[in-house]
Amino acid sequence: MSGEIADINQLCKLAWYYWIIYRPSMSNYPDEPVNLGKYFGSAFDVGPAIAAKILQQNEEVVYRSTHRSLTIEEQADTSIQQDMIAFKESAEEHLGTKLTHRELEEVGIPDMP
């Protein structure tokens, strides 16, 4: 304990399953590639305070502290949009489609805002 306030900025910015960009574990600066992923929440028990659980396109979860949300320009980029579609199709193929509100209510999970 140093008495300093930790930076919780990343904890406040991202919602669950939000599109993010992250860096692979073994990369060389400045030519580091970035990958598209889905935010699975903070990894409180792994790495620094800003570490996150990230779903990769291969459906594996990795822990990274080098991640950020997509910029508005990146979200509008057609090549990134195509990557997002491919990611979603891969996820649905491996994990199934998302549940409907009715299906959630049938198992006792109320509609959430």
Where along the chain do its domains lie?
9-106
Dihedral of alpha carbons 37, 23, 67, 71, sign: negative
Q: How far apart, in whole angstroms, are the C-alpha atoms of residue 68 and residue 50? A: 10
| pTM of this structure | 0.70
Cα-Cα-Cα-Cα torsion 107, 102, 113, 91, nearest 10 degrees, comes to 80
Q: How far apart, in whole angstroms, are the C-alpha atoms of residue 69 and residue 10? A: 9
Q: Per-residue pLDDT tens, the chain, 113 aa: give them.
A: 566 665 555 556 678 788 999 887 766 666 677 889 999 888 877 766 678 899 988 888 988 888 888 999 999 999 999 999 999 898 888 877 777 778 878 888 776 55
What pLDDT does 48 receive? 65
What pLDDT does 112 receive? 59
What pLDDT does 14 receive? 79
Q: How far apart, in whole angstroms, are the C-alpha atoms of residue 46 and residue 64? A: 9
